[in-house]
Amino acid sequence: MTPLILKGTVTSGQGNGKKYLALPWVLSQMKAKLGYTPYLGTLNLKLTAQSIPHRKQLMKAKTETISPAEGYYTGLLIKAHINVLECAIVLPQVKNYPENTLEIVAPSYLREKLHLKDGDTVEVTVTV
């Protein structure tokens, strides 16, 4: 197994991650598949130009599927780490979802826990 490191800058999202995580069927599946209840919000990263091609390699990692309710899309979960903190990448299986974007969930509010603000650089490590 090889570590894959994706680097990106913290950006503010549109609040869609929070709405998605607040859905009871999403939250219960994430808790069952990740082993923790995620904070109700995602850390949004805009990948660096060097990391965008590596995003495709995420599919080599072990993924878990969030099965959608009617009218919603499937989401893939990939366990990861930021420093020593456990987290997961959420890959919405939505047509035209931006390739340069990563959404991260964790058991705690990552912006607060890691003292992050928009523009800060973060490295996410996944084993592939």
Res. 13 pLDDT band, cuts 50 70 90: confident
As a whole number of angstroms, the distance between CA 9 and CA 85 comes to 17
As a whole number of angstroms, the distance between CA 119 and CA 78 comes to 24
Q: What is the mean pLDDT of the chain?
A: 93
The domain segmentation of the chain, as residue ranges, is 3-127
Architecture of domain 3-127: Beta Barrel (2.40)
- The terminus-to-terminus CA distance of the chain in angstroms comes to 6
The yes-or-no verdict on residue 89 having pLDDT over 80 is: yes
The yes-or-no verdict on residue 127 having pLDDT over 80 is: yes
As a whole number of angstroms, the distance between CA 124 and CA 108 comes to 16
The percent of residues above 90 in pLDDT, for the chain, comes to: 77
The yes-or-no verdict on residue 17 having pLDDT over 90 is: no
